[in-house]
Structure 1
Amino acid sequence: MTVIKYLLCAVLAYLLGSISTGVLVSRALFHDDVRQHGSGGTGATNMLRTYRLKAALLTFAGDSAKAAAAALLGRSLAGFGGGCVAAVFVVVGHMWPLFFGFRGGKGIACSVGTLAVLYPILLLPLAALWALPVLLTRYISLGSITAALAMTPAVWLWCGRTGQPAALPVLCAACCTLLILWAHRGNIARLAHGQENKL
């Protein structure tokens, strides 16, 4: 029964993740498709570069909200473990959205939404780890990569402090980290060659 519940959490979270806020905002406000510009991604960074701050904030809020909803739904269906499973699959849906040609974003705003539900105490330190590289270098991608790398050990430490069994939360956090790093593979290559775009 638990496996079936986890599968249900995964499917529902994937469908929620497949709602691409960036595409909807770009179509509604600009009669355009953000995927035709910049990096081709649907996330807040490409929205910022293409349509500026308001569109980026709307996109970040929408992507965070859908991920938070997925984590809440997963937790209500299958407990904390269900929320962890949902956290992975909402990112999968965001990156490869069923409703928008499997072309999505990179999972940062979604991770913020799931962290807010599952590990709210980790939000501030991870946000600081995102902000510091961005402020020092003006590379948004470097902040995202840094925070993603810190997420899994942060979840492991949280489990140790709270007594929560660590296996599933850490596994799911590691999956999210790997997904985000995969989505940023082009950014990593450009950073290595000094060719990444600055804010």
Structure 2
Amino acid sequence: MTGLPTLFFLFAFAYVAGSVNFSILAFRLTGREDPRGHGSGNPGATNVYRQAGIGWAVAVLLSDMGRAVAVALVANTLLPFWQVPWVGLGLILGNRFTCFHGFKGGKGVANYLGFTWWPSLPAGR
């Protein structure tokens, strides 16, 4: 499976994957209020740190980055290098405008870092 159908599928997959907000999930699982209701109103790791402490912030940051690395690995495996950034765009758009939380998501920083970290490793050697 190559070409545009693969790109469109992976873009949609990345959007849905990016739409899963780990800070909101973590707060719901622990019985806390929505992180968007306090602090900066952003459901990212920094706001989680302000509300729940360093442990939860690190967990959210690593979850977001880990998801982005996984999406980058899949994209780098199945697509030519020039199509991979489009999948990253889908991931970040999913995080910014999440379909699961009223199209109000995070800033996409951890997703950007995770998505660009993996492909940059070979360049540094």
Does the Cα contact within 8 Å between 1:17 and 1:91 map onto a contact in 2?
Answer: yes
| Aligned ranges 1:53-132 → 2 under 5 Å | 53-120=54-121
Distance 2:121 2:98 in 1: 26
Deviations 1:79-114 (A, max 9, x none): 323432211111110111111221111111111111
Distance 1:113 1:31 in 2: 27
Distance 1:6 1:81 in 2: 11
Q: TM-score, structure 2 length as denominator?
A: 0.87
Distance 2:56 2:33 in 1: 12
Shift of 1:31: 2.9
Q: Percent sequence identity over matched residues? A: 28
Whichever of the two has the greater Rg, that structure is: 1
Amino acid at match of 2:55: K
Does the Cα contact within 8 Å between 1:26 and 1:55 map onto a contact in 2?
Answer: no
Identify unmatched segments of 5+ residues in structure 2: none
Distance 1:8 1:82 in 2: 12
Shift of 1:34: 0.6
Distance 1:120 1:18 in 2: 26
User: Which structure dedicates a bigger proportion of its chain to helix?
Assistant: 1
Number of residues of Structure 1 aligned to a counterpart in Structure 2: 124
Structure 1 stretch 110-119 or stretch 73-82: which is displaced more? Answer: 73-82
- RMSD of the TM alignment (CA)? 2.1
1:3 is the counterpart of 2:4: yes
Distance 1:110 1:36 in 2: 22
Structure with larger RCO (C-alpha < 8 A, sep 6+): 2
Shift >4 Å, 4+ stretches? none
